Structures are given as C-alpha cells and as structure tokens.
A and B are shown apart, each in its own frame.
Chain A
Amino acid sequence: MAIGGFPKFGSIRRKIFAIAAFTALLTALITLLFFLSTDYHHQKLELLEQSRVLSKMLASNVSAAIVYRDPNTAEEILAALKEKADVLDAYIFTAEQQLFAAYHSKNAADTGQYTPDAALQDGFRRLFDGYLQLGSDHLFSADALDLVVPIQVDQRRIGFVALNLSLAELKQNFRYTVLEALGAMLLAISIAVVQARWLGAKISRPLLQLTANIEQISRDNNFDARLQVESQDETGVLINAFNSMLDKLEQQEHNKNALIVNLSHAKWEAERASRAKTEFLSRMSHEFRTPLNAVIGFSQLLAADTAHPLNAEQQDSARHILDAGLHLLDLISELLDLSAVESGKLTLNIASVDCRTVISESLELIRRQAEERGIRISSQTPEHEVWVAADRMRLKQCLLNLLSNAVKYNRPHGQITLRVEVEEQWVRILVEDSGAGIAPEQFELLFQPFSRFHHDQDLIEGTGIGLLLTKHMVELMGGELQVESRLGLGSKFMLMLNLAAEPPPPETRS
C-alpha cells in the first residue's frame, strides 16, 4: 500500500507545480499582452499629445510672423525643432493654405525618408481640410504621424502648423518595453516556479514523512511511535487522525498482549495441573499395585494351601478377596494405561492379528459375567480368518471393555449381539446391546474421562475411563471407534480396524 501510494504523493507535488507554473504563465501572458497593447496605444497617444503641445507652441510663436509677413522669423522658430529628433518635417501654412515656412530635419534627408515636398504639403492641406470638417487633427501611418494645428490670433484663424513625425523612436521604445516586459515575465515565472516547488515540497514532505512513518510502524509493529504535527492545515489534521488511530491500535495491542499473557498463564496452569494429575495417577496406581499383589497372592495361597485346607465358608471368603483384588487390579491397570496413553508412553506392538480368535477369547472371558445377569450373547463371525492390523493384547482389552459395558449397562435378561463385517479396507466389529441407550446430548460426554451418566451409575462398578482408553488405543492402532445409540433401544459400538495381510505361517502362533 505504501509503495503503491508513493508516486501519488510525488504527483501532488507535480500537480501543484504544474498548476502554479501554468497560472503564472497564463497570468504573465495575459498581463503582458494587455500591458503591451495598452502601452503601445498609450505611447502613441503620448506622442500625439506631446506633438500637439509642441505644435500649439509653434502656432502661438509664429502667429506674429505670419501676421507681419515675416517668414524668416517663422523659419527661425521652426529651426528650434532640430532638438526634437522625431520631427521629420514641419510646415506653416497661411490661412489661404499657402506655404509660409518649412523645416526639414537633416535625418529625414539623410536616411532617404524625405518625401517630396509637394506631395507632403498636399497631404497636409487635405488633413487640415479634414480637421476643419471632421475635427480629426492627426493621421497615423505605418511609420509616421501627421498632425495639423491651427494658428490663431484671438479667435481669428490665420494659418496652420503641420508636423510630420517619425514613429521610429516610438517603435524602438516599444521594442525596449517588450524586452523589459519579457524579462519581467521570465522573472515572475521563475519566482512562481521556485515558489511552486517550495509549496509542493511543503505539502508533500509531511505526506512522504507520514508514509515513511506508516511503513516503519507496520514493519516494526511499534505502535508507541507518534508523528510530529508541524502544521495546522489538512496534513496536520491527517497526522493527528493517524496519531489517534495509533493510540487505539496501541491500546488494542496492549489489551491483546494482556489477554495473551493471561491465557498462556492459564494454559500453563492447566497443563501443569494435568501433568500433575497424570503423574499422580501413575504413581498412585503403581503404589496401589504393590499391596494389591500381596492381597491377591496371599488370598490365592490361602485358597490353595493343602496343608491347612479352608472350610467352605472360608473358601468362599478367600474367593471374594481374590475376585475383589483382581477387579481392583484391572481398574488400576486401566488407570495406568490411561496415564500412559495421555503422556504418550503407551507403545503398541502392532501386527497382523486374526480378530476371530481374539473375539472368541473375549467372549469366553465375558460369558460367565453375562450369565450371572441372564444376558444372552449371540455372535456372528466369518468362517475364515480375518486379519487386522492390531496389538493383540490391547485389541482383546478393547473388546473386553466394550463387551463388559454391554453387560453392565444392559437390562437384566437382555441380549448382546457381536458381528464382524469385512469391507475393502476395513474390518468392522460391532457390539450391540439392548440396554437403556444414550441420549444424543450425552454423546459428547461419552469419551470424557471419569464421566458416568446413567442414573443408576452408583450401582454399576467402573471408573468411567474404559471407553476413553478404548478409543485412544483403537486410534493408536490406526482404527476408529464409533457409536450409535437410541434412547431406550440400546447402543451400538463399532470398532473399525485396518484390514491387514495374512502373516507368514511361522509368525502366526505367537
């Protein structure tokens, strides 16, 4: 964004520069044209006015000379015109329009601009007639000004003065004026250009600075930085807005960091607690096992001691002790397994296993327990061997767990169905019971440790970690544990395992 924005900032400076330069140029041109045309007109008018004054003075001065028929004096008076270089010719006519006195500048004769006398005089006579009739006393031609002024004594017109003036000097002056004006225009434009550059830089510099700062901030994620406000104009407002945005960002960053700290602390606490729990379970299970082994061992010794045989009542008690001890050992083993799974220490020995033998062994072990509750177990297993990738012992443990649950949570005189379905990649072992079933909202709790949700849970022994352990172990074997259930109609647990190749013959008897 910042990189893409950069040329735009450059172009603001260029735009300002172009606008200022264009304005300066246009203004200068218009002013120049206006000034020059006005000035030329003005110079002509000024020349005309000066010449009029001069002619009137001449007219006044020569009046007596005309009246008293003194052309020599008249020519002397005219001779003073040699001080005024642009007067080429001067004539004095009598009232009868007859030439009375004349003056010709040496310049006019020398430069060849000298017009034949008679033609010029006739021109003046016509001009004077025009003046008498129309009131226009002058005539501008390409390079000359002709002017006539009447000579009067009191109200009486006794003749007229006629001047033929060169416009060369005026044109020369005008050329100088043009040059001066052009110079002034160039100066003005260069000042405008310099000012435009300065102005452009002044406007674009804070923007470039802002861009650089934004880049810096987004690169470093440093929201502490604040931009300096150097002017109160729009760029200043922009920078202020940006600064307040930075305030908000900094606040949010601060909140976010605080939250992260809190969360990570809580996470660390939770992990520590979990680790402590696992460790505690592991240690306690271990500690439990030692005395339990003594209980089991000695109860077996009691029952099996032929030297001091127990009577029937004692035998029965010893068997209770043994059963309870074995059950407790199972529970502790499950706890140990769970903590091993959760700490990742459980290692499986996965091989090709014929699941039919595992199933039949498991069914054999659970049968007595089922019969005690009057539950009928029916199993449908394939005729031939079905090889799956599994740890034989753990698979048996999983199956026993599922079957034992099916017994425990079944209704009395209920039914358990075990089926094996073989598909292309999978082997599915289904264990169906006819128990109370599981409500859908309880599915999530199903695999939580230590959660037991049957209303009559207190009557059923168990730690509540069996299903979780089964799920973990099946997944470690690359399989999956699924459950379907309808409240009141029983539950169906599906154990899915990868189909495996048949192992070479020597390996199968293990």
Chain B
Amino acid sequence: MVYAFSAPVSAQQFNETELKAAYLYNFAYFITWPEPAARDFLFCSYANTPVTGILARLIDGEKVHDRPIRLLIDPVPEQLHECQIVFVPVQQERVLASILEYIRAFPTLTVSDVPDFEQRGGMVRLTTEDRRIQPVIHLQNVTRAKLAVSSKLLRSSRIAE
C-alpha cells in the first residue's frame, strides 16, 4: 500500500531555470544515441537563455558513459548536426524551423520550451504544469532520428502523439 506522499521536495529549492538545466542535462543519460563519431558528448544551446549558464555549470567536468561533455553555445547551422542534444529556448523560437531543418537527417535530440514544439517537429518539450516541470516526448519524432528513450524516463514523462 502506498501512503500519501506528505512532503514533496520538488520545486521548493530550485527555480524553473535551474530545473530546466538539470532536466536538459539528464537527458544525456536516459537517451541512447546511435554509434557516435566524435569522442566528446556535445550539448548545444543559445546564449539568450539563462538555462545555458546553469547548464554550463552542471556539465563542467562531467562525463556521459565516459565521454567528456562539451557545451557549444550559439552553434552555427553547419555545426548543429554534430550536437547530441540541441536546446532551443523559447527566445530562439523564430529560427526554430530552420534549426530543425538542419538536423532533420541527424541523430540529434531536440529539446525546447516552445509551447507547440512537438507539433512543429520537435522531440522533447519541457512544460510547466501545476508548478511542476515535466518532459513531453514526441516518440515518433524521436525514433525517426534513430534515438531511443529509456523507459525510466518515459515513466516520468508525458507522451505526445
């Protein structure tokens, strides 16, 4: 029997930006990429969101499956396909379509907090509901890019059709 969870710890100590950075960072561990070409695990983000700064702190010196993590801020479109994860903040919404277009054929996880991200071809949207940030995962878009999402992550996410 499960007792009521009386003292939730969720968003008390962390603000939304910090949580988004943490969530973004942890996708590296719950997503499986096809065999990588480069040695480094490359995060790509944009300087116009506070999330990037926090992410830079989080990933400093960390590794994903023994691959050192590197953060690429404001990548040029030609660099986008080298990224394993691309975060497109809502501030970057105007170039969203072109970014997605650049990486369509590559196994790059696209994450965003743009409200209709998954309808526009994105893979993972970070949504805020009841003061709780939750990943919304569009499985078709993810699998089309030959990526696999851990069931552990799926259990704590919402699945979009």
Q: Which residues of A contact B (CB under 8 A)?
A: 60-65, 67-73, 75-79, 82, 94, 98-106, 109, 153-156
Please tell me if the beta carbons of A69 and B65 are within 8 angstroms of each other in the complex.
no
B147 in contact (CB, < 8 A): no
Sample of 7 further A-B pairs with CB below 8 A, known A65-B155, A68-B26, A105-B1: A64-B30, A64-B156, A67-B23, A73-B155, A103-B3, A109-B1, A154-B29
B11 touches A69 (CB 8 A): yes
A166 CB, nearest partner CB in chain B, Å: 16
Contact of B29 among A62, A69, A153 (CB under 8 A): A153
Q: Which residues of B contact A82 (CB under 8 A)?
A: 1
- With contacts A94-B9, A102-B5, A103-B2 taken as known, whether A68 is within 8 angstroms of B156 at the C-beta atoms is yes
Whose C-beta in chain B lies nearest to the C-beta of A99?
B7
Contact bitstring B118-161, A, C-beta under 8 A = 1, else 0: 00000000000000111100000000000000101101110000
Which of these, B7, B11, B64, contacts A154 with CB under 8 Å?
Answer: B64
Given the interface pairs A69-B133, A71-B10, A154-B65, the reply to whether A60 lies near B152 with Cβ below 8 Å is: yes
Name the residue in B19, B134, B153 with the highest tally of chain A Cβ atoms < 10 Å from its Cβ. B153
CB distance from B24 to the nearest CB of A (A): 11
| Cross-chain contact B5 with A72 (CB below 8 angstroms) | yes
Residue B62 at the chain A interface, CB threshold 8 Å? yes
Considering the complex, give the chain A residue whose CB is closest to the CB of B1. Answer: A106
Name A78's closest neighbour in chain B (CB-CB): B2
In Å, the complex CA distance between A67 and B134 comes to 11
- List, in ascending order, chain B residues with CB within 8 A of A71's CB: 5, 8-10
Q: Which B37-87 residues have a C-beta within 8 angstroms of A?
A: 62-65
Q: Is B22 an interface residue (CB 8 A)?
A: yes
Contact B23 A68 (CB under 8 A): yes
**In the complex, chain B residues whose CB is within 8 Å of the CB of A77:** 155
Give B153's nearest chain A residue, CB to CB.
Answer: A64
Q: How far is the CB of B17 from chain A (nearest CB, A)?
A: 14
B residues within 8 A CB of A65? Answer: 152, 155-156
Task: For A102, list chain B residues within 8 Å (CB).
Answer: 3, 5
A106-B2 Cα distance, complex, nearest whole Å: 9
B148 to chain A, nearest CB (A): 14
Contacts of B3 in A (CB 8 A): 102-104
Contact B132 A104 (CB under 8 A): no
Cross-chain contact of B135 among A62, A68, A105, A155 (Cβ < 8 A): A68
In the complex the two chains form, what is the Cα distance from A62 to B19 in whole Å? 18
Contact partner of A156 among B5, B10, B62, B157, CB < 8 A? Answer: B62
**Closest CB-CB distance, A377 to chain B, in whole Å?**
156
Nearest CB of chain B from residue A462's CB, rounded to whole Å = 148
A455–B150 Cα gap in the complex (Å)? 152
Residue ID in chain B nearest A69 by CB atoms: B10
Closest chain-B Cβ to A316's Cβ sits at a distance in Å of: 172
Residues of A within 8 A of B64 (CB): 154
By the criterion CB–CB under 8 Å, are B63 and A154 in contact?
A: yes
Contact yes or no, A67 B155, CB < 8 A? no
What 9 pairs between A and B have smallest CB-CB spacing? A64-B152, A70-B156, A68-B156, A67-B26, A69-B10, A64-B153, A153-B29, A75-B2, A73-B156
In the bound assembly, the distance between CA atoms of A103 and B11 in angstroms comes to 22
Q: Cβ of A99: which chain B residues have Cβ within 8 Å of it?
A: 7, 9
Please measure, in the bound complex, the distance between the C-alpha atom of A76 and the C-alpha atom of B135, giving whole angstroms. 18
Interface-central residue, B5, B22, B62, B135, by most chain A CB under 10 Å: B5
B9 lies within 8 A of A98 (CB): yes
Scoring A61, A101, A154, A156 by chain B CB atoms within 10 A of each residue's CB, the highest score goes to A154
B152 pairs with A69, CB closer than 8 A: no
State the Cβ distance, B27 to closest chain A Cβ, in Å.
Answer: 9
Check B23 against A104 for contact (C-beta < 8 Å). Answer: no
Chain B residues within 8 Å of A67, by CB? 22-23, 26, 29-30, 156
Specify the chain B residue showing the minimal Cβ separation from A102: B3
Q: Per a CB cutoff under 8 Å, which of B19, B23, B152, B157 touches A63? A: B152
CA distance A136 to B21 in the complex (A): 34
A475 to chain B, nearest CB (A): 132
* A68 CA / B23 CA spacing, docked (Å): 6
**With A and B bound together, what is the CA distance between A70 and B64 in angstroms?**
22
